């Protein structure tokens, strides 16, 4: 992201860095809100979770992996409860998370 201040301006805001002149954006279609044609394709969900993680969107990654776990139908390939629980516990620093309670029945 890049900002620019107008040189000719006698007054400028100290709260902002100037006018936004350039930025990058990455948009994801949320498969859980508006189901695309691959709604039931677990491999597509895993791919999207990997892409979200690679671009540093951990909240979206956790949401996708949790959805896979909750809809896994006891499939060990998509039941990621143990991995999610371990990761979230380390990040939460002992704070209770509602998602951990929801994942508990799926831990094998």
The answer to whether residue 87 scores a pLDDT higher than 70 is yes
With vertex at residue 60, the alpha carbon angle to CA 59 and CA 61, rounded to the nearest 5 degrees, is 90
pLDDT tier for residue 105 given thresholds of 50, 70 and 90? confident
Q: Is residue 79 part of a domain?
A: yes
Residues 6+ apart with CB under 8 A from 20: 1, 2, 3
How many distinct structural domains can be found in the chain? 1
Torsion, CA 67, CA 69, CA 70, CA 75, rounded to 10:
130
User: Is residue 4 in some structural domain?
Assistant: no
Domain that holds residue 91: 29-106
Q: Give yes or no for residue 4 having a pLDDT over 80.
A: no
Q: Are 49 and 87 in contact (CB under 8 A)?
A: no
Decide: pTM greater than 0.85: no
Q: CA-to-CA distance for 91 and 102, rounded, in angstroms?
A: 17
């Amino acid at each position: 992201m890049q900002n620019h201040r107008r040189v000719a301006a006698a007054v400028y805001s100290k709260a902002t860095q100037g006018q936004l002149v350039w930025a990058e954006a990455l948009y994801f279609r949320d498969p859980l809100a508006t189901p695309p044609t691959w709604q039931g394709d677990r491999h597509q969900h895993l791919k999207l979770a990997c892409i979200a993680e690679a671009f540093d969107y951990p909240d979206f990654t956790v949401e996708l992996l949790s959805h896979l776990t909750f809809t896994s139908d006891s499939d060990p390939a998509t039941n990621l409860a143990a991995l999610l629980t371990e990761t979230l516990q380390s990040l939460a620093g002992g704070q209770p998370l509602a998602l951990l309670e929801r994942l508990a029945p799926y831990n094998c």
